[in-house]
Chain A
Amino acid sequence: MSVKNRAERPETLPKPVVKSPSLTLRVVQVDSSITSKATNSRSLKLGFESFLAVVPFLVIFLAGLFPWLFLPNGATRFAVFENIFLGLTIEALPFLLLGSLLAAALASWGQQRISRLWEATSKNRFKAAATGVGLGLALPMCECGAPSVARQAARDGAPVAMSLVFMLAAPVVNPITILVTWLAFGGEWAIVLGRIGLSLGVALVVGLFLSLNPDTSDFFIPEINQDRDEHRSHLHSHTAGESCHQHGIVETENSQSKFSLFFNKAVGEFIMATKVALPGIALASSFQAYSPPGFLVGLGQGALLSVLILMLLASMMSVCSSVDAFVALSFAGIFPIGSVLAFLVFGPLVNLKSLFLFRLVLRWRAIGLISLFCALLVLLSGVFINLRIN
């Protein structure tokens, strides 16, 4: 080894024990040191992955069984937890499946065309946000199904503004939720338009503001960022008419392989979405089962406190956005209208189910930021409505 190389050797590498002029022996000793570091790093990674794999089970266990062991009447309350947990799970399954099927369809049949759409909208964040709103209006998605679709869109290169706006707005601005809200409040358009307007406003402000950060790796989970990078380089190397054999996509007339791809994607997305949703469902069920009924509602009234209480209730109850209007209706005679609107808007945006489902797409710190911004905007709007309009 040359003197120069020896001088450049980092301090952390051990000096050769055997002072042999043999280059091979010194290289072997340096390699074994690097190998042991790599082994330690792999062990740490494996340990971390094992922990992550166990987290959903831990959350469900703690949410369901822990209070049973330590609260009075725990056994009877566990029966309530079990009923609500299964009820919320059964209710969520169709929408998780719908989101997975849509995401799989996008991946299997619409990927090329959709990717060009994302590329076109990525140049202008307002266009991207508007596309997110349009998709939300067109697709009957609640907060269970929207993250799967947003995930597929993000992997195909959809801009941040579009993904965020769609995920936040879709649960409220879809046709079913609008209709049910109108029915529940007896055709009261002020409530319906107030809900749509406030939800869109919050989704657009949050989506556009966060999209100012050009680094998408701050938002999306690493797998999505990796897919986006691969997708970007793949698109740029693609010429018209050239068949594509990357990522399992085969642009041939072989429809059987496309169906196979579709089923593959659908199953994978469904399993992943269900795994991610279940801890949130367990937490919401635990809150319902183990807290005294109505204790939040009884805490207080007033322009500010009532908004805070109903926002907290909405996020803890995690009722599906397609039917939460009926639940909100029961508060209409007790709380001011700004607080009821806060319930209707904040619940679909940020609740125990959706916080975990966002993990299909976003990093935890992005989820935290979004939750904070949404909470502030909804709080301010609710208090303003209570003070000025109510």
Chain B
Amino acid sequence: MSITLQKIKQTQPNLLGVLKKKAAQLATGLALLTLGVWLEWRLGDGTLSYYLHPRFNLLIGFTGLIVGGLGVWLLLPKSRYVTPENSPLKAFSGITLVALVALFGLIVLPRPLDGTRAALVSGTGANSGGSSNRALAAALLKQDWNNAASLDTVSWNLLDWSAALNDPQRAEKLIDHPFDVTGFVILPVTTSSRNFLVARYVVVCCTADANALRVPVVSEKAQEVEAGQWVRVRGTLGRGSNGIVSFLANSVEIVARPANPYINP
């Protein structure tokens, strides 16, 4: 064996180096291809919305295609790739990291943010405990609050209601108006038999900026729901026994999680 190796080294002094470069090129190609496949897969099965605002879908689609295309180019026999890193170890760590992230994204079951983070915020009122979407909601929606009778509150989602309820005068005008919202359940720490919170995350860009909107619900069925469950709540706006403006629900229906679990303004 050692004689064979010596002969190879004599006739092809750079063979080992060439083989190493080829192996690195193949590994890089596979890593990029895996990354591209991951992005396209998440876009295709609709779970990209668990991470990002849908406005980025086209951009992610193109990115996946280009990255995957670069990976395919590297896998072609005629292509030549030379890493810009001056150390093989650094080059290896870069390829490995990209490959691991892509594999992690592919293997891990995509799931949206759940109620655990929202439940950490204290308080039982709408958007209480430091949640800070008042200005965001009001600025984005620009509803005409002056003529409360003309507002189609049944079509409002939790973002619309948050903007409305953040101002006490507006909230007062909306008493007895109907609502129909879908969100997940948060059970407050100090529970009564009739109260829970209905919540939903607002995601402007990606889940890093996710903010939970919460509105208290008063319902006879509060004991039947569990934390994290998705519910559709219908009724009219009113005041609970504690005087806090709340949804007075006459219907609480357990539903499946929506395809896009966030509100994306």
Binding site for B on A (CB under 8 A): 46, 49-50, 52-54, 56-57, 73, 76-77, 79-80, 82-84, 86-91, 93-94, 97, 101, 184-186, 223, 260, 263-272, 274-275, 278, 284-285, 288-289, 292-294, 297-298, 317-320, 322-324, 326-327, 329-334
Contacts and interface: CB of A to CB of B under 8 A. Distances in A.
13 contacts: A53-B92, A76-B114, A82-B108, A86-B105, A93-B35, A269-B84, A284-B208, A293-B118, A293-B130, A293-B212, A294-B132, A320-B206, A330-B136
A270 B70 contact: yes
A266 B70 contact: yes
A183 to B, nearest CB: 9
B66 interface: yes
B135 A49 contact: no
A87 B28 CA distance: 23
A330 B166 CA distance: 12
B113 to A, nearest CB: 6
B205 interface: yes
Contacts of A73: 116
Given A93-B39, A264-B81, A293-B120, A56 B205 contact: no
A90 B265 CA distance: 19
Nearest to B81: A264
B79 A260 contact: yes
A269 B67 CA distance: 12
Given A267-B74, A331-B132, 19 more contacts: A53-B93, A86-B51, A87-B206, A89-B101, A89-B105, A93-B60, A93-B63, A97-B67, A186-B142, A263-B79, A268-B81, A270-B32, A270-B70, A271-B28, A271-B94, A275-B98, A317-B208, A326-B204, A329-B136
Interface in B162-183: none
For the complex of A and B, 6 pairs with smallest distance between CB atoms? A294-B130, A87-B51, A323-B205, A333-B135, A53-B93, A268-B84
A294 to B, nearest CB: 3
A334 B96 CA distance: 44
Contacts of B105: 86, 89-90
A97 B84 contact: no
Contacts of B35: 93
Interface string B54-75: 0010011011001100100110
B97 A94 contact: no
Contact of B114 (A79, A90, A294, A317): A79
B209 interface: yes
A266 B212 CA distance: 39
B128 to A, nearest CB: 11
B82 interface: yes
A223 B90 CA distance: 13
B5 interface: no
Contacts of B98: 271, 274-275
Interface in B78-107: 79-87, 89-90, 92-98, 101, 104-105
B84 A272 contact: yes
A272 B32 contact: no
Contacts of B108: 82, 86
B112 interface: yes
B50 A83 contact: yes
B116 A80 contact: yes
A264 B42 CA distance: 27
